[in-house]
Structure 1
Amino acid sequence: MLIFRSILTVMFVSIVGYTLVTISNHGWGLVPVFFGDIAKMAWPGQFNFDFLGFLILSALWIAWRYKFSATGLLLSPLALTGGILFLSFYLLVISFTEGGDIRSILLGKQAET
């Protein structure tokens, strides 16, 4: 669990730093660039489209993990839009709240049934 938590910490700190530099150099205009690249049907768009699939799966997993309760439905848009910035922090927090139990981390409320 220590290695997993270390990787999550490195991911979180790295993406925060990278995001701050990107915002300072290019502003907050991610959405037009992200979907604009998809519309161009080139490799950057293909990557974004592929990544969007991972974001959707991440959001669905969060909602499912909470049995589509209010908590899950509130957290899932953060997973969809936050990417690894959200997911690394979320997984780090629940790795502690779930006592490092990987079954509970992955299944959440689903593990209770």
Structure 2
Amino acid sequence: MTGLRYALIAMTVLIVVSTVTAIANGGLNLITPFLMPILALSWQGQFNIDFACYLVLSGIWMAWRGGFSGGSIALGILAPLLGILFLAPYLIYLVGRSNGDPRQLLLGVHA
């Protein structure tokens, strides 16, 4: 689990630096650059759709993992909206909370 923690920390740092740089260079306009390639039916658009599906799937998993409680549904909504910026720190928290038990980490209330 130590390797996973380091990878998640690296992802968090990378995305924070990338996000701050993107905002500094292009402002907060996220929707147009995300949707325009999709509407153009380009490879970038295909990637954006694929990526959005992964984000939604991560949100569904987070809500399911918590038994679709109010809190887990809220986390499930945050996950697709904030992506790895939210998911990586949350997974670091879960790794610690599960004491390194992969079953508990992945299954939550279903373990």
Instruction: Tell me if TM exceeds 0.5.
Output: yes
Q: Segments of 4+ in structure 1 off by > 4 A?
A: none
Please state whether the residue corresponding to 2:28 is helix, strand or coil. Answer: coil
How many residues matched?
111
Gaps of 5+ in 1: none
**For each residue in 1:13-33, what CA deviation from the matched residue of structure 2 results, as whole angstroms up to 9, or x when unmatched?**
110001000000001111122
Instruction: Supply the distance in 1 between the matched residues of 2:102 and 2:31 (Cα, whole angstroms).
Output: 34
Looking at structure 2, the residues matched to 68 and 31 of structure 1 have their Cα atoms a distance apart, in angstroms, of 28
User: What is the RMSD of the two structures over their aligned residues, measured on CA atoms?
Assistant: 0.8
Moved more, 16-25 or 29-38: 29-38
Query: Structure 2 matches for 1:1-113, cutoff 5 A?
Result: 1-111=1-111
Q: 1: CA distance between counterparts of 2:67 and 2:35?
A: 30
Give, as a single letter, the amino acid of the residue that structure 2 aligns with 1:77: I
- Separation in structure 2 between the aligned mates of residue 67 and residue 104 of structure 1, nearest angstrom: 13
What percent of counterpart residues are identical? 42
Give the C-alpha shift of residue 35 in structure 1.
Answer: 1.6
- Give the aligned residue type for 1:79: A
TM-score (norm 1): 0.95
Q: Matched residues in 1 for 2:11 and 2:86: separation?
A: 10
SS at structure 2 position matched to 1:28: coil
Q: Runs of 5+ in structure 2 lacking a partner?
A: none
